Amino acid sequence: MREVARELRKEAHVTVRRADKTAAFILIDTEEYHSKIDLILGDLSKFEKLSYNPIKEIKREGNKTIEKINAASNTIHFQTITGDFSPGYLYGNAPPSSGTIASLDVESLFTSVPVGETIDLILERVYRDPSTPTLNIPEEALRTLVEVCTMKAPFTTRKGHTYIQKDGVTMGSPLGELFANFYMGVVEERVFSRILRPDMYVEYIDDTFIMALPPRTSRPSAGRLRNTAA
């Protein structure tokens, strides 16, 4: 299968991508594949096209914030960012063309996570929830670091253009799973404060398996049991 995929990649009109969450390969018309990528990037509420590479600027802002944190804390010391970095690269994974999934799946969760709202929720939990241990970092400093890592992450495209994702978290980002999982956890807390949990509820980030058993009306409830012994 891998050999076939390598041979097909030599065909300019065919794009070979791994299917999402499976070992299968998907063959896509290259023009259609790129048009779908361009359609995603056309969402101006989530992406902004840049005229320059902001990596050095982001590195300076991150290091400036880290230095402030280190200077204000006697117990926490972060290493400053060193080395050279380049923007990520955008590509798309295709869903399988067939099959049955016995689960609920949040559509495009990572790119749909409301970053600003999630940052507010995280800071609320970290600094104002009595069950969370005290963090010896100023709240605004932590906010800045998290925003730098999520809302100012640039990437390039096949055309050489540079974009920055304004909302939603980037697939492959170290903070991607944390943000998605945290936001889904808050949504679940809100939902299950209003309704009962199903008989079985198993979730991993955006994949959820639910089983709800039908009510057993023939079985008496505990409040109706009576001792009929003489």
pLDDT tens digits, one per residue of 176-201: 888 888 888 888 888 888 888 777 77
Which distant-in-sequence residues (6+ apart) come within 8 Å of 9 by Cβ?
16
Residues 6+ away with beta carbon under 8 Å from 165: 46, 47, 111, 151, 153, 155
Range of the domain at 22: 1-41
pTM: 0.54
DSSP sequence for 161-222: -EEEE-SSPPTT-TTHHHHHHHHHHHHHHHHHTTSPPPSEEEEETTEEEEE-PPP-TTSPPG
Q: Decide if pLDDT at 10 tops 90.
A: no
Structural domain includes residue 145 = yes
Q: Same structural domain for residues 17 and 80?
A: no
On whether residue 159 sits in a domain, the answer given is: yes
Domain count, the chain: 2
Region 109-127: what's the mean pLDDT?
Answer: 87
Residue 173 confidence (pLDDT) above 60: yes
Average pLDDT on 207-219 reads: 62
What does the mean pLDDT of the chain come to? 80
Q: What is the CA radius of gyration of the chain?
A: 24
**Confidence grade of residue 12 (pLDDT, cut at 50, 70, 90):** confident
9 and 54 both lie in a single domain: no
In a domain, 61, yes or no: yes
pLDDT tier at 65, thresholds 50, 70, 90? very high
Asked whether the predicted pLDDT for residue 170 surpasses 80, the reply is: no
The CA-CA-CA angle for residues 44, 49, 55, to 5°, reads: 130
Q: Residue 21's pLDDT band (boundaries 50, 70, 90)?
A: low
Separation CA 69–CA 73 (nearest Å) = 6
What are the tens digits of pLDDT across the range 132-154? 888 889 999 999 999 988 888 88
Residue 60 counted as domain residue: yes
- Residue 14 forms part of a structural domain: yes
Same structural domain for residues 80 and 6? no
Residue 63 and residue 152 in one domain? yes
Same domain (yes/no): 59, 168: yes
Answer yes or no: do 19 and 59 share one domain: no
DSSP class of 158: T
Kindly state whether residues 78 and 156 are assigned to the same domain.
yes
Does 223 reside within a domain? Answer: no
Residue 225 has pLDDT above 70, yes or no: no
Residue 196 inside a domain? The answer is yes
55 pLDDT higher than 80: yes
57 and 84, same structural domain?
Answer: yes
Q: How far apart are CA 8 and CA 31, in angstroms?
A: 15
49 and 37 in a common domain: no
pLDDT tens profile 82-105? 999 899 988 887 666 443 344 666
Q: Tell me how far apart the alpha carbons of residues 66 and 58 are, in angstroms, rounded to a whole number.
A: 12
Q: Is the pLDDT of residue 227 over 60?
A: no
Do 72 and 49 belong to one domain? yes
* Cα gap 87→38, rounded to integer Å: 18
pLDDT score at 171 = 74
| 157 plus 115 within the same structural domain | yes
- Helix axis angle, 115-128 to 139-150, nearest 10°: 150
Strand 104-105 versus strand 88-89 pairing type: unpaired
Residue with the bigger pLDDT between 216 and 50: it is 50
**15 class by beta-carbon count within 10 Å (0-12 exposed, 13-18 middle, 19+ buried):** buried
Residue 36 lies in a domain: yes
Name the least confident of 63-72, 76-85, 89-98, 210-219: 210-219
Whether 170 contacts 153, CB under 8 Å: yes
CA-CA-CA-CA dihedral for 117, 118, 119, 120, to nearest 10: 50
